[in-house]
Amino acid sequence: MQSLLNILRLTIKELRAFRRDKVMIVLMIYVFTLAVWLVSSAASTEVRDLTVAVVDEDHSPLSTRLIDAIRGPLFKAPELLTAQQADQAQLDGKYVLVVEIPPDFERDLRAGREATLMVFVDATAVAFAGNGSSFIQHVLSQEVSDYLSPGTSSASALNVVLRSRFNPNMTGEWFASVMQLMNSITILMLILSGSSMIREREHGTIEHVLVMPVRPHEIVLSKIFAMGAVILAASVASLLLVVEGFMGVPVSGSLGLFALGTGLYVIAVGSIGLMLASFTHNMGQYGLLVIPVIIVMILLSGGMTPLESMPEWLQILMRTISPAPHFVIFAQAVLYRGAGIGLVLNELAMISGMSLVALALVLARFRKILS
């Protein structure tokens, strides 16, 4: 009971110290609000509103229909230009795509002759050029097929119907916003847990703590619980107010289950942060040490690129040494697919096991330092 009281008192001390750290408070507010929106929405790489110019030298009903087929949300309304105007406009970077419909295009197709429709692509915009050219090719070929042979596709032997579950419109913002929230939890928990120890050293208050009748595990747990509580509260608030409320991203799963998994995860990450802090003496050293750890944990967590695309040995390694892949799998299952605890029990067990291992290692390190 006395140990629990000591942990509670030290936790309150850590929260008071955090409250006085205005820079960290501003950083947390920014990361869980504006940064989530900027990364997932404002800096989106989705193909939308592509600029298109059309050189129509056919002036047939088919060419008119092709021009009408180029519409939002993938494309902006196309501009009709002459060939010389289109060349100059693309040189000036005004249009990503230029569609040139040659003379007698419809007449040649109806006569069974070969007809060529050209699409000029500004490949300096790599993402737009690759995806945009594929999209406009599909749109134009489908429109030509429907115009010349209406009903052909419905009469074919195979009719493939695609239905996208959990994200029907394939909106990248839905995925990016939640994954950015997961990354923010990892980054801030590493920074706050480690900086709480570095701050004690730089301000000279660590000596005051060491002469108090407290044990190493009480110091460690109080720092993890204090910073973990702040991160957990901020992440849940961001999920409800920013992701679901402001951005309109539907959250399907249980908020309580998400909070449980996040609580276990912040304990593991906080322990890693304290472990790294035990090898440094100031914030400069800690920053240099923690940056590569953050990069590896985020890039190889499966939140930015699928784990399946990585070499098998790397998948096994990351699942063994890092709790981040298990947390990403857990968060995606709960928040996207509405999974219950039975489906994510294995991931929760892995995160819990890693939390215990990380706590044991950091406690052993702190006992060695204090002795």
The pLDDT of residue 16 is above 90:
no
The pLDDT of residue 105 is above 80:
yes
What 3-state class would DSSP assign to 56? strand
Give me the chain's average pLDDT, please: 85
The pLDDT of residue 370 is above 70:
no
> Does residue 362 share a domain with residue 320?
yes
> Does residue 223 share a domain with residue 176?
yes
> Does residue 185 share a domain with residue 132?
no
Most confident of 60-69, 118-127, 244-253, 259-268: 259-268
Which residues have a Cβ under 8 Å from the Cβ of 208 and sit 6 or more positions away?
A: none
More confidently predicted of 219 and 312: 312
The stretch 83-110 carries a mean pLDDT of 87
> Does residue 64 share a domain with residue 35?
no
Q: What percent of the chain has pLDDT over 70?
A: 90
The stretch 152-180 carries a mean pLDDT of 70
Q: What is the pLDDT of residue 18?
A: 84
> Does residue 248 share a domain with residue 304?
yes
Predicted confidence band at 156 (pLDDT cuts at 50, 70, 90)?
very low
What 3-state class would DSSP assign to 273? helix
- The CATH number assigned to the domain holding 117 equals 3.40.1710.10
The stretch 344-369 carries a mean pLDDT of 87
> Does residue 35 share a domain with residue 84?
no
The pLDDT of residue 125 is above 80:
no
On whether residue 153 sits in a domain, the answer given is no
> Does residue 192 share a domain with residue 70?
no
On whether residue 137 sits in a domain, the answer given is yes
More confidently predicted of 125 and 50: 50
On whether residue 162 sits in a domain, the answer given is no
The answer to whether 120 and 100 have CB atoms below 8 angstroms apart is yes
On whether residue 164 sits in a domain, the answer given is no
Range in 109-113, 127-131, 176-180, 214-218 with the lowest mean pLDDT: 127-131
The stretch 55-66 carries a mean pLDDT of 90
Q: CA 316 to CA 53: how far, in whole Å? A: 49
E strand or H helix at 120: strand 118-121
Residue 243's nearest CA partner among 156, 297, 144, 173 is 173
The stretch 302-310 carries a mean pLDDT of 83
The pLDDT of residue 360 is above 70:
yes
Range in 140-144, 226-230, 348-352 with the lowest mean pLDDT: 140-144
On whether residue 61 sits in a domain, the answer given is yes
> Does residue 182 share a domain with residue 104?
no
More confidently predicted of 167 and 367: 167
Domain final position from 148, 183, 215: 148
pTM over 0.85: no
More confidently predicted of 362 and 371: 362
The pLDDT of residue 77 is above 60:
yes
Domain final position from 117, 148, 179: 148
On whether residue 226 sits in a domain, the answer given is yes
On whether residue 154 sits in a domain, the answer given is no
> Does residue 204 share a domain with residue 303?
yes
Q: Which domain holds residue 127?
A: 52-148
On whether residue 190 sits in a domain, the answer given is yes
Q: What is the pLDDT of residues 328-346, one digit of tens each?
A: 999 999 998 888 999 999 9
Give the count of domains, the chain. Answer: 2
Q: What is the pLDDT of residue 313?
A: 93
The answer to whether 185 and 266 have CB atoms below 8 angstroms apart is yes
The stretch 79-99 carries a mean pLDDT of 87
Angle at 198 between CA 192 and CA 203, to 5 degrees: 120
Q: What is the pLDDT of residue 298?
A: 92
The pLDDT of residue 288 is above 80:
yes
Which residues have a Cβ under 8 Å from the Cβ of 102 and sit 6 or more positions away?
A: 57, 58, 115, 116, 117, 118
> Does residue 231 share a domain with residue 359?
yes
> Does residue 64 share a domain with residue 202?
no
> Does residue 196 share a domain with residue 315?
yes
Q: What percent of the chain has pLDDT over 90?
A: 32
Predicted confidence band at 29 (pLDDT cuts at 50, 70, 90)?
very high
